Amino acid sequence: PTELFIRIEQLNEELSELRVALNGDNFQRGYNESTVPGISGRLGTAMGGHSATTQMPTTTQQNDFNLAEQGFNRFIQTTAGFYEKIASLEEALQKAGAPYTPGRKG
């Protein structure tokens, strides 16, 4: 069972990394430290600066959109692997005789 707790902790860490990739590092931002924008931040900057104009997007807006797209593609791949790990953990929990928890398969 100790191994299962380690796997759960690792999944929690990976989930935190996924949140940072999507939304940026809110913890660091809370200390007024500069951070790399997350996918949603880049997309928001690109869209927000362009929503009220009929002009072509600026180079910065295009770059933000491209970076958001690249980040999202990586995010999708990472998320797929994350869900596979969750499914594997659920199976291990089932085999270990863990009691049912809401939302868990099996």
> What is the DSSP annotation of 45-79?
HHHHTTTT--SPPPHHHHHHHHHHHHHHHHHHHHH
* Distance, CA of 58 to CA of 65 (rounded, Å): 11
Tell me the average pLDDT of the chain.
89
Summarize pLDDT for 1-53 with one digit per residue, the tens.
Answer: 799 999 999 999 999 999 999 999 988 877 788 888 899 998 888 888 777 78
User: Which tokens sit at 85?
Assistant: 């790990």
Q: Please state the domain extents for the chain.
A: 2-95
How far apart, in whole angstroms, are the C-alpha atoms of residue 42 and residue 69?
Answer: 9
pLDDT of residue 106: 60
The pTM score is: 0.80
Look at residue 99 and tell me whether its pLDDT is greater than 90. no
Q: Residue 14 belongs to what H/E stretch?
A: helix 2-23
Which of 65, 28, 60 is closest to 36 using CA atoms?
28
Q: Is the pLDDT of residue 74 over 80?
A: yes
User: Averaged over 65-85, what is the pLDDT?
Assistant: 95
